Amino acid sequence: MTAVRVAALQMRSGQSVARNVADFEALVREAAGRGATYVQSPEMTGALMRDRAALRAVLKPEGEDPVERAAGRLAAELGIVVHVGSTAIARPDGKVANRAFLFGPDGGLLATYDKIHMFDVDLDNGESWRESATYEPGTAATVADLPFGRLGMAVCYDVRFPQLFRAQALAGAQILTAPAAFTRQTGSAHWHVLQRARAIENGAFVVSAAQGGLHEDGRETYGHSLIVDPWGRVVAEADHDEPGVVVADIDLAEVAEARGKIPNLKNARDFAVAHAGAAMAAGG
């Protein structure tokens, strides 16, 4: 089987975990009702809140998190793959993980992934973020075998680090993912081009569910959940920041076709970086 119907859920997660879980469940059911057998939610499905103390007060460890439990239950009930883009998880060492979960059609946990790259930035108009002050970065890339193909897992800011996606593609990933809570400021500038670039560079589909709109904690996220094909074409998009479901039929045979036309994964060569200025100065 090379064809599959995939869905990206666009959410506007707030500070109530219970309400977010209810919204997540409703959107998963809508996606499954539209025939999707792979459903992905955005980064921080469970809660979006700036207040670190408030966030820590609602954290649960893996196995007890309500989003994680709902995802496994829905996957088994609906017979689909459910990919929680990420949610905040209490680690045993007292730190916090920005963790993605992937459940198979039997409800079993197939894989997890902890976001590697922390969004520590100072943007225009005083907007500043320090994810490393709250979250412990992951240290390993993750690829997972699904009934229809191999999938690479990433989260949000990871999309700016092409080496992560290249490593997954070289490990056989045909579908790459970057579920996100992109800020409106960075999203309007870079969201589309980054998603399309990762698809083109790796000859892979990219599926990225997004948070969108004005959230309870005051942040604004860009929305525009996307599904991109291996040639870099947007095949489905939520052209707005409202909650909803984006669905597309994709054929993984297009991955081999794209990689056959432009075999850059095979043609890549190791190289050194020569510092010509230093050499010229030394010789002068």
Asked whether residue 126 carries a pLDDT value surpassing 90, the answer given is no
Residue 32 pLDDT more than 60? yes
Distance from the first to the final alpha carbon of the chain:
63
- Work out whether the CA dihedral 222, 120, 23, 148 comes out positive or negative: positive
Q: What's the mean pLDDT in 214-232? A: 96
Q: Which residues are catalytic?
A: 43, 115, 156
| pTM for the whole structure | 0.94
pLDDT per residue over 147-182, tens digit each? 999 999 999 999 999 999 999 999 999 999 999 999
| Residue percentage of the chain with pLDDT more than 90 | 84
Annotated domain spans of the chain: 3-283
CATH pick for 3-283 out of 3.60.110.10, 3.40.140.10, 3.40.50.720, 3.40.1190.20: 3.60.110.10
Report residue 40 as tokens.
């992905």
Q: Angle 162-170/184-202 helices, nearest 10 degrees? A: 30
Q: How far apart are CA 193 and CA 186, in angstroms?
A: 11
